Amino acid sequence: MFTIALVGVLSPWLVLVGMLLLLIPGPIQRWGSASWERFERWRADSGVRRAAPLLTQMLLLPPRIHDRVGGNGLAPSYVVRWWRALPVAGSIKTLRFAVLLFIVLHVEDMADWEHLRWSADPGPQSGLVQELLSGFAALPTAVLPWDSSAIGRVTKLLFWALILTAEVRLIKSTNLIGSGRGATLSAYDLEGLTKYADRESARAEDRRCWPVVALLTVAAQCAVVLRRWEETQPDCQIPRVSVQPVERAIWRAHRTRRARARRHNEHQFKAHAALVVGALRKAEARQDSDPGRALEDLTVMLLTIAERYAEGRIDDLLDADQFADVVPAAPRERIRGVVVGLTVVLVMAGAAVLGLPEAALIPLLPVVVVFVAVVFNRGRVPTVGQFTDLIIPR
């Protein structure tokens, strides 16, 4: 016990001495440099080894698909770069998540919450913080029932919400990148892919290269299902491929591939991303009516997007003829749905608090739903028939 306590007390000084020794020329500095070089070589070799299964599946695609894609072949190098950056970037994400959990669990100890004045009257010389607290306290009690014990409940809720969110994202990422582990290393020529874009941090490489990994992985899934469809016709019991895992990467492509763009360029990128996502959804929907053609088109589109993303052509991810009869997708549909739901709940609760009769609340609900949906959907007004069907159910 004494040894553990002594190490705990001396650990900051030991770290400081070690850092000083690494900065001073000598055997310890040479050992540190050699260890770092070995770590970098391990990262490069690990990136090539882990990227090989997915790249093998890309090599085994039918020639007719390769002929329709074109490009300079930059996408495979992005896969290797992402796998190489993953050990460092993953450690940074884990550490950041652990710090966030620590803050959430100890938020009760960060202030004397019980002596804060949760009063609508801030009092004389209250200061800005008390003014804000009094503003919150002045809200109707039906909307914000708050006491000091609620802080503990909120922190516990946030803690488990963070855990659940991390688990969901981890499962999705694992399922996505683990779909091609059964391939062999010898089927793909990996020479030349070990080159790495130096002077880039691991976090930047992880952020920049992940969209290509996601796009190629879903393209490989489409190719596997297409091969099964061609081999087992007319048996239609084949899995349906979803493009949902790559939609977020497409929406954020202008941010992950380049630095932050100007406002007018950002609007242009978002409009193009909406068309690209809409084209992918249209092809995905055709899997029920024409599976073979739909899966081949999806594979070609995903490979084309990945290649052009790697080339930096963010505003030209697909050709114009691929946008024929495509309805642009609405960005952040899930967030919009949540906001619409919360707004409707607040409006209806406010109407009830104001004393609106129950007979008037029933027809008010569909009107509020449609109105809020129109506002958050940027002016797409339903027809008169749709209004009538909502207000007067048949």
pLDDT per residue of the chain (394 residues) written in tens, 0 to 9: 555 555 555 566 666 766 666 667 767 667 666 666 676 676 666 667 777 777 777 777 888 888 888 778 788 888 888 888 877 777 887 887 777 777 767 666 655 445 544 444 555 544 444 455 555 455 444 444 444 455 555 566 666 666 666 655 665 565 555 544 444 344 444 444 545 555 567 778 878 888 898 899 899 888 888 888 887 766 656 678 888 888 888 988 888 877 665 666 778 888 888 999 999 999 888 888 888 888 889 999 999 999 999 888 888 888 888 888 888 887 765 666 677 777 777 777 777 767 666 666 666 677 777 777 666 655 555 444 444 444 444 4
∠ CA(6), CA(9), CA(15), 5° rounding?
110
Split into its structural domains, the chain has a count of 2
In a domain, 228, yes or no: yes
Q: C-alpha distances in angstroms, 157 versus 8, 123, 150, 161, 341? A: 33, 32, 11, 6, 20
In a domain, 24, yes or no: yes
What range does the domain containing 346 cover? Answer: 333-391
In a domain, 212, yes or no: yes
Q: Do 358 and 279 lie in a common domain?
A: no
**CB contact at 8 A, 298 and 243:** yes
Q: Do 237 and 351 lie in a common domain?
A: no
Q: Do 368 and 239 lie in a common domain?
A: no
Whole-structure pTM over 0.85, yes or no? no
As a whole number of angstroms, the distance between CA 229 and CA 222 comes to: 10
Q: Do 63 and 191 lie in a common domain?
A: yes
In a domain, 151, yes or no: no
In a domain, 138, yes or no: no
Q: Do 63 and 212 lie in a common domain?
A: yes
In a domain, 328, yes or no: no
Q: Do 258 and 178 lie in a common domain?
A: yes
Q: Do 242 and 260 lie in a common domain?
A: yes
Structure tokens at 159: 């803690």
In a domain, 167, yes or no: no
In a domain, 124, yes or no: no
Name residue 6's amino acid. L
If 0-12 CB within 10 Å is exposed, 13-18 middle and 19+ buried, where does residue 228 land? Answer: middle
Q: Do 191 and 245 lie in a common domain?
A: yes
Q: Do 47 and 79 lie in a common domain?
A: yes
> What residues contact residue 351 under an 8 Å CB cut-off, 6+ apart?
361, 364
Collapsed DSSP state (helix, strand, coil) of residue 379: coil
Q: Do 314 and 386 lie in a common domain?
A: no
Q: Do 81 and 213 lie in a common domain?
A: yes
Q: Do 357 and 302 lie in a common domain?
A: no
Of 323, 349, 364, which residue sits at a domain end? 323
If 0-12 CB within 10 Å is exposed, 13-18 middle and 19+ buried, where does residue 345 land? Answer: exposed
